[in-house]
Structure formats: structure tokens, C-alpha cells
Structure 1
Amino acid sequence: MSNETILPGVSDDETTIPRDASLFERIAANPRPAAIWAGVLAVLVLLEAGAIASLLASFLRGAVAAAPGVTPSAYGLDAMVQSASEIPTLLSRDIIPNQGYDVNGGNDGPWASTFLGLPPAFAWFIRFVLVYVYAAALFGWLANGYRVFRRHYRYADWTPRDDVVNRFSGHTWGQFGAVVVLAFIVMALFAPALSPTTVERNIEQPYSYEISYFDEEAGGVEQTFVGAANGDSRSQGGGDSNYGLLSYDDYGRFHPFGTLDSGKDLFTFMMYGSRVSLFVGLMAIGLSGLIATVAAMLTAYYKGLVDLATVVVGDSIISIPQLLLLLMAVAVFRGHPIAAIYNRGFLIALIFAFTGWPLLWRAIRGPALQVSNQEWIDAARSYGQKPSATMRKHMLPYVVGYLLVYASMTLGGIIISTAALSFLGLGITTPTPEWGRAVAIGEPYIATQSWHIGTIPGIMIVVVVTAFNALGDGIRDAIDPQSEGGESTEGAMAGGGA
């Protein structure tokens, strides 16, 4: 059998390369498709360069600010964030402004200081739609990258991964989960552009910013602090104290989800709150997944005493009541810099990771043990391959699919648990927005005209958690077509807990 293959996608000359050629060598032999794909990415990044730079600078400043005795200004991080915010961005509040005022009063128009003189609701909706169009283009670029790889740079006509992708593309429930999860991720990444205002102006520092509005009594445009405007825009049950869905307040500000009982914009609260939920969920599932994967590889490969020790440690951690551990951690780390990151968000993520990895390990232990008994593992050992190489090359690819399934389902549980802790006052603290705290704020008004405060966040929590579970179901059925809704998965769980 020849050790050469015709490079896919090249028809002018039959370009042959070794079958074991690296991806970079294949790209070098046929660079045009990869160059086009990379060029599209460059255009997409340039359109949102300011938003990307601002997000990275903000995360860096937040991480440095959490360190004891360190001030971001001393390292020029405040200036870095300011410089990043000045980089032109297509989908920004500066390009498509939605905050303005009615030159005649009464919120009937015409409007000043808004995009093309449109009402704030229309200007905000245009920016909202464009953000999701941009996100769809970005996700389409990622999907097209896999198609480019299959068509031009993969020598095999078929791999098992193709069947997984094809099965998932026909899984309606899994696709629903994927769409909602991607929409949730867009909320977190593009919160400043999606919101009608910013969290700094409306929630965190409302008395540090001013807005312009038309004062009918004065007969002209006046200035007032955002905090003062919030005080006149409270939703506290009904009558004049309620600003519900798709409403304007007396200062010409549009509120897609209405306002909180403090007058702050609920939609902005929810968009920025998705960042916190995503951060806690990804941090917790990333750490616990890493620990669980390493433990599964070691216990499946060495078995015996290593497996027994891991079982004992895992069972000991599972036996600790999670709520009790959280209360202890909150008390012990009160005032500690680690609790300042995302207002306990990082601390909560660490607790979920510490208490969650044994459950993930039990879920993937069965598949890891199953693959460790295969003939190719014995062959790798007999040829003297290092254990780490055997685990990485021959065991991990078999286990990673199961890890994705359980990680997706567990992530939804972490999000709803974080919301529940915040609802009880044990989770994310003010002023950082968090969905569970919005539910707690709206609980007294659930049977009044201000029902939106608690109902909308509650619905969003349920939808997002359901979507993560649906995505997990879709991945499971795509990876294991014999599961039929969970038969094989349950078998894996039984093996993991044996």
C-alpha cells in the first residue's frame, strides 16, 4: 500500500503528500482554502476589535484587582481598559446609540441623540439584531472550518466523527439545546452591546453618570444623574410605580424587560448576569472535568490501589454536604481577595469544582475501564510506550465524548445552583448582577403588576438549564447511537459507580 495520498480539493495537479504529513504540511501544499478561511476571521475580528480588546482588558484588570495589595492603576490597567474602549467597534453604543430624548417631551418623538433619530426602542432593536447576526456569522465560520478541513486537508474520506456530526445534525432536541446555549453565550460575550445601557452607568455607579432628558416644566433639555432617574423609575407593584415590558420611563429610556424595584434596567441586569453564570459554570466544570479526567485515566490504567484510593477520596468528598461547605467557605474567606473575584463567583466555582469532580469521575470511570482492557492498550504496553502517551493517545479520545455529555448536563446544574444560592443570599453579592438575586428581588411582587422582576429571570434560568440538558442528550445520542435516550449512558454510570 502506498504511503502517499492525493491531497483533497486539488484538481489541477494531482498533488501527493505522505499520509502521515502534519496538518501544517497539508496546508502548505494547498494554502488557498485555509487563507480564505483565515481572512474571513480577520474581517470578523476587525469589526469587533474594540469589544474583544475591552473584554480581555476588563478580565485582566479584574484578576489583578483581586490580588492583595495590588491596584490596577499602578500597572496601567485602568488606562489599558480606557484605551481598549476607544477602539472602533461596529456594534457599539457609540455607532448605534439608543439613549436620547424626545425634543417635545412625552416619548412620542421626534428624538435627538439616537441612531438616525429613531425611537430608542428601534435603535436598540437594530443593534440587538445585528449582534446576533454577527454571532451567527462567527459560528458559521467555525462550522465552515470543519467543512474546509474535511474537503481539503483530511486524507480519509470518512471517519467516525462524520457519523457523529451527521447524527447530531438530525437530532432536533439536541439542536434546540445548542441554539439556546449559543444564544446564552452571545449574551455573556456581547452584554455591553446587547443591553440598552451599561452595567457601570445603570447598576454599579449610577451617580457617576448623567443623562439628558427633556423637562416639560422647564421647557428644555436638562441633565440629571442616572441614579436619580432610577429612583423615579422604580417597579414596586403597580400604579405609577411600575415600568413593565417594552416600556419607556419619564426620562426617555427604553426598558425591554422593565425595571427593578430600584429603577435599574432589568434587561441590562440579565445580560451582565449571564456573564457571571457562564463564568462560574465554565470555571467549575473546567476544573472538575480536568481532575475527573486525570483520575479516570490513572485509575483505569493502573487499577488496584490507585483505583481504591480514588474511590475512598471521592466518596469522602461526596459525603460532605455542599451547602455546609459553602457556608464554611463564605465565613472563612470573608474579606479574602479570592472572595472579591466576581463577588464570590470565583470562590463558588472552586467549591463546585472540588465537590463535583467525584461525580464526573464516576460517570467516565466505566468507559475508561472498558477501553483500558482493549487489546491495543496491551499492545502499547508491550511495545514500551509511556503510560502518559498511552492514556493521551489511546484512552482519552474514547472517554472525552462521555465527558462532554456529563459536563454539559452538569453545567446546567451549576448554573441553577448558583442562582439558588444567590436567591438565598449565599451566592453572588451586590453590585455584581446575578439571575438568582433578580428572582429574590422580584419575589414580593410576583402577584402584582411588577411580576416581570421575578418571572423573567426565573423563565430564563429554566430555559438555559433545559438547553444544557438537551445539548447533553444530543451529544450522547450522536456519540452512541445505541443509547436510544440513555440506555448506554446509564450503563456507563453503573460501571462508573461499581
Structure 2
Amino acid sequence: MSYATEPEGKAAQTAPEGVKGGTRPGFVRRIADSDIWYSFTRSPLTMVSAVVTAIFMLAALFAPLIAPHNPFDPASISIMDSFYPPIWEADSDPRFLLGSDDQGRDVLSTILYGMRISLAVGFASVIFAMVIGVTLGLLAGYLGGWVDSVIMRIADVQLTFPAILIALLINGVARAMAGPQSYDNVVFAVLVLSIGLSFWVQYARTVRGSVLVEANKEYVLAAKLIGLKPITIMFKHVLPNVLGPVLVIATINLALAIITEATLSFLGVGVPPTEPSLGTLIRIGNDFLFSGEWWVTIFPGITLAILALAVNLLGDWLRDALNPKLR
């Protein structure tokens, strides 16, 4: 009897701290005990930014359910309802909490629906840029030689041009190829393509530098020794170890992508006015800013500024949290 109970006692004594009965802690417990969660809970500004970002994203996601009106439905819009001021001003209409625009659309509803387009373009363009940049960075850093030289020289040339100019160039070429009648059908894909191709360089250069460090480590040399293919080593073994900086860049670039989309829409080369994003709403309202209808452009502008600021603050926190020198 004593021989049966002794191993159990030893197992209980040698079990790692926080592991009950020799089982691994749950996913939630591991997150709660992590350094990133500790850093997050010790930064009130970061927590507020996360809450604001989550509220904006949820509001955009459930816009059809919470928006007072559907601004994209012509049957529910009346030109007679145009230019109603916000509800706290005189001559307002209780149907329009933040007022109405020149077409009689509810400004609050257009902001909620406009955030859906802005966030969708932002997320899609960031994912597109990340896929291209990470792939090219892995190839450049791992293969080296002429592959590295060609990719990095292309990146150097692109860095000499502002991202907005590259986006305008790609957008103009796509508009000319698609034609004015078909452009509205492909404008979302064109925006994602133009913004994504403007931001891939940061991912490629960052991943290339990380791969050059990882390529000389023992696990990579061991993988080569047992005969694994280069593509397997790059994507299965090296890539997981270089994702930290990539996530930081993606978070910061999300805010930049949203602002870039808003800039393109403000310049008139973004989404059409019939399905406006935040940038389109600002451009439409700018025409009436000095005639007294300030709410048409001010509220979308404030929404864009708060959203971009909150995402940027999250990116700054994530950069510091993933930096081992600051722990």
C-alpha cells in the first residue's frame, strides 16, 4: 500500500506551481498570469483605448440593428428632412439625434454604417499588406542573394514615395481600366489593393531583419540538418518567432489604413456618396461647413479622430509590451 501512494505524493510535491493535480492551467489562467495582461491592466489609458475601440467596432458590426435609420435605403430618405440640426439645438427633429445631411439622411446612422466601410477597408488592406510583406520578408531574409537584393531594392524605391501618392496612382490606374460605370462595383477591392500595396514595405523589412537573426539559431540549423524543405522551415519554424513585431506594425497600420481610406474618399477617389465611409461623409459635409451646417462634417471627423487615436494607443502599448527590454 505504501508503494502505491508514494509516487502520488512525489508527483504532488513536484508538480509545477499553479498546476493542480499535474494538469496544465487553462487558457484564461495563462492569459491572466502573462506579462502582457499585467502590462495591460496597469495602464488605464490602454484600457480606455481598448474599450473605445471595442465599442466602435461593435457599433459598426451591429449597425443594421442599432442605427435609427438605414441611410443606404433610398425609400426611407426624404430630401425634405435635410439639414436638421442636432437634437439639442432649435428647429431640430427628434428622429435625428445628430442632425441630418443634405440628402435627409440621419448623421448618426451614416456614421455607424460609414465606420463599417472604413473598418472593413482598414482590416482587409492590413491583412493584404501583411501577407505580401511577411512572405517577401521571409524570402529575402532566408534565401538571401539576388532574391534579397531585388526585394529590398523595390522596397527602397517605394519608400521614396508617400503612401498616399502610391494609393492615388494605383487607384487612378484601376479607375481608368475599369471605366466610370464599373468602378463603383470594384471600388472596395481597389481601395484594399491600393492601400495594401502602400504598406507592405514595413512588414517586409521588419521580417527580413528578424529572419536574419533567427536563421543562425540552432533550431533552424537542426531543421536543415534533418532535411526539411526551405518553405517548411520558413513558414512553420521561423515565422512563429517573428510574429511579435508584425502584430505591432499591423495594429498601428490599421489606424493608418483607416486614415488613408478617409483621405482617398475625401479626395473623391474612394467609395461613392451613395454608400459613404467616414472620409466621404467628411467630404460631403465640408461643402456645407461654412454655411452653418457644421454637424454634417464635424461628427464624422470626431469619430474618425477618436477611432484612429484609440487604435494608435493600443499599437503603442503593444509595442512596449512585446519589447523584452522594457519588461
Report the TM-score when normalising by structure 1: 0.56
Q: Note the alpha carbon deviations across 1:378-430, whole angstroms, 9 max, x for none.
A: 23222333323322343222211111111111111111111111111111113
The answer to whether 1:244 aligns with 2:122 is no
1:403 to 237, 243, 246: 246
Q: Which residue number in structure 2 is paired with residue 66 of structure 1?
A: none
1:161: how far off?
8.5
Distance in 2, matches of 1:460 and 1:150, equals: 33
The answer to whether 1:311 aligns with 2:189 is no
Distance in 1, matches of 2:171 and 2:199, equals: 13
Structure 1 residues 371 and 160 mapped into 2: Cα distance closer, same or farther (>3 Å)?
A: farther
Q: Which residue number in structure 1 is paired with residue 109 of structure 2?
A: 268
Task: Assess if the C-alpha contact under 8 Å between 1:412 and 1:468 holds in 2.
Answer: yes
1:191: how far off?
0.5
Structure 1 residues 165 and 372 mapped into 2: Cα distance closer, same or farther (>3 Å)?
A: farther
1:149 to 19, 27, 31: 27
The answer to whether 1:163 aligns with 2:35 is yes
Alignment map for 1:175-190 (pairs within 5 Å): 175-190=47-62
Distance in 2, matches of 1:149 and 1:464, equals: 30
Q: Note the alpha carbon deviations across 1:115-158, whole angstroms, 9 max, x for none.
A: xxxxxxxxxxxxxxxxxxxxxxxxxxxxxxxx84254xxxxxx7
Distance in 2, matches of 1:172 and 1:380, equals: 44
One-letter code aligned to 2:53: V
1:447: how far off?
4.1
Q: Which residue number in structure 2 is paired with residue 77 of structure 1?
A: none
The answer to whether 1:417 aligns with 2:265 is no
Gaps of 5+ in 2: 1-10
The answer to whether 1:458 aligns with 2:306 is no
Q: Note the alpha carbon deviations across 1:472-494, whole angstroms, 9 max, x for none.
A: 1111111114259xxxxxxxxxx
1:282: how far off?
1.1
1:167: how far off?
1.9
The answer to whether 1:259 aligns with 2:100 is yes
1:326 to 161, 171, 179: 171
2:128 to 282, 287, 294: 287
Distance in 2, matches of 1:246 and 1:334, equals: 45
1:461: how far off?
1.0
Q: Note the alpha carbon deviations across 1:424-447, whole angstroms, 9 max, x for none.
A: 111111311211121122223334
One-letter code aligned to 1:261: D
Q: Note the alpha carbon deviations across 1:271-320, whole angstroms, 9 max, x for none.
A: 11111111111111111101111112222222222211211233344456
Distance in 2, matches of 1:467 and 1:347, equals: 26
1:469 to 312, 315, 319: 312
Q: Which residue number in structure 2 is paired with residue 340 of structure 1?
A: 185
Distance in 2, matches of 1:454 and 1:334, equals: 30
1:243: how far off?
2.2
Q: Which residue number in structure 1 is paired with residue 141 of structure 2?
A: 300
1:164: how far off?
2.4
Q: Note the alpha carbon deviations across 1:174-218, whole angstroms, 9 max, x for none.
A: 3333222212211221001221112343xxx22xxxxxxxxxxxx
Structure 1 residues 172 and 369 mapped into 2: Cα distance closer, same or farther (>3 Å)?
A: farther
Task: Give the secondary structure class of the aligned counterpart of 2:242.
Answer: helix
Q: Which residue number in structure 2 is paired with residue 24 of structure 1?
A: none
Q: Which residue number in structure 1 is paired with residue 284 of structure 2?
A: 441
Task: Give the secondary structure class of the aligned counterpart of 1:254.
Answer: coil
Task: Assess if the C-alpha contact under 8 Å between 2:101 and 2:107 holds in 1.
Answer: yes
Structure 1 residues 464 and 306 mapped into 2: Cα distance closer, same or farther (>3 Å)?
A: same
One-letter code aligned to 1:243: P
Task: Give the secondary structure class of the aligned counterpart of 1:261.
Answer: coil
Distance in 2, matches of 1:430 and 1:458, equals: 16
1:349 to 192, 197, 217: 192
One-letter code aligned to 1:329: A
Distance in 2, matches of 1:161 and 1:288, equals: 33
Task: Assess if the C-alpha contact under 8 Å between 1:248 and 1:254 holds in 2.
Answer: no
Q: Which residue number in structure 2 is paired with residue 232 of structure 1?
A: 80
Task: Give the secondary structure class of the aligned counterpart of 2:99.
Answer: coil
Q: Note the alpha carbon deviations across 1:72-107, whole angstroms, 9 max, x for none.
A: xxxxxxxxxxxxxxxxxxxxxxxxxxxxxxxxxxxx
Distance in 2, matches of 1:469 and 1:9, equals: 35
Distance in 2, matches of 1:8 and 1:333, equals: 63
Structure 1 residues 367 and 384 mapped into 2: Cα distance closer, same or farther (>3 Å)?
A: same
More strand by share: 1
Pairwise CA RMSD of aligned residues?
3.2
Task: Give the secondary structure class of the aligned counterpart of 1:179.
Answer: helix
1:452: how far off?
1.0
Which structure ranks higher in relative contact order (CA pairs < 8 Å, sequence separation ≥ 6)? Answer: 2
Structure 1 residues 330 and 161 mapped into 2: Cα distance closer, same or farther (>3 Å)?
A: farther
Report the TM-score when normalising by structure 2: 0.83
The answer to whether 1:199 aligns with 2:63 is no
2:45 to 162, 169, 173: 173
Task: Assess if the C-alpha contact under 8 Å between 1:164 and 1:479 holds in 2.
Answer: yes
The answer to whether 1:370 aligns with 2:242 is no
Task: Give the secondary structure class of the aligned counterpart of 1:255.
Answer: coil
